[in-house]
Amino acid sequence: MKTILVIEDNVSNFMLIARMLDDAGLHCEWKTSGYEVVEFADTLESIDLILMDIRLPYEDGYDAFRKLRKQSKYEHVPIVAVTAVTGPEQMQSARMLGFDGFIGKPLDPDRFPTQISRILENQPVWEFE
C-alpha cells in the first residue's frame, strides 16, 4: 500500500483528503505544520508522495519543501502543493521552486482521486481550478 504524507493545518481539509485517499486504497499520515517535517517523515517506513499545503503555521510549505529536498532520502519523492492560495502566479512560484505538481483548493472530490493516481504514475498535475 502506498503512503501519502499530508502536511495540512486545517483538520477539515485533512479529513476530506484522508477520506478520499482511503477510498482510493492509499494510506496517509498527517503533519499539521512544516516545522519538524523532516524529523516526522524520518519516522515513516516509506513515503510515496507528499501533499504540501503552502500556508502553514510556524513554517510555510515553501520552507518545508526546501528542507525536504535537502535530504537525499526525499529528493525523488514527488511533492505536490495543495493550497487555497491559487492562481497562475502561485502555480509558477511552486513550479520554479521545484514542486512536482500543484492542486488548488477547494479540492474536487470527483477529480482528486484521478489527480493523485496521475501523480503516482509520474504524470504531471498542475491545476488550480
State pLDDT tens for residues 16-28: 999 999 999 999 9
Chain center to CA of 79: 5
Q: Which domain holds residue 71?
A: 3-127
pLDDT at residue 129 in the model? 79
Question: Is 90 exceeded by the pLDDT of residue 35?
Answer: no
Whose CA is closest to 6, among 93, 79, 71, 115? Answer: 79
pLDDT at residue 128 in the model? 86
pLDDT at residue 63 in the model? 94
pLDDT at residue 16 in the model? 95
19 backbone φψ class: left, alpha, beta (φ>0; ψ -120 to 50): alpha
| Average pLDDT for 108-119 | 96
Chain center to CA of 97: 14
HEC profile for 13-40? HHHHHHHHHHHCCCEEEEECCCCCHHHH
What separation in angstroms does the CA of 33 have from each of 23, 30, 76, 98? 25, 9, 21, 20
What is d(CA 54, CA 57) in angstroms, rounded to the nearest whole number? 10
What's the structural domain count of the chain?
1
pLDDT at residue 85 in the model? 85
Question: Is 90 exceeded by the pLDDT of residue 9?
Answer: yes
Identify the three-state secondary structure at position 107: coil
Strand order in the sheet with 3-7: 27-31, 3-7, 49-52, 79-83, 101-104, 125-127
Domain containing residue 54: CATH number: 3.40.50.2300
Confidence of residue 101 (pLDDT cuts 50, 70, 90): very high
- Enter the pTM of the model: 0.95
| Average pLDDT for 25-33 | 95
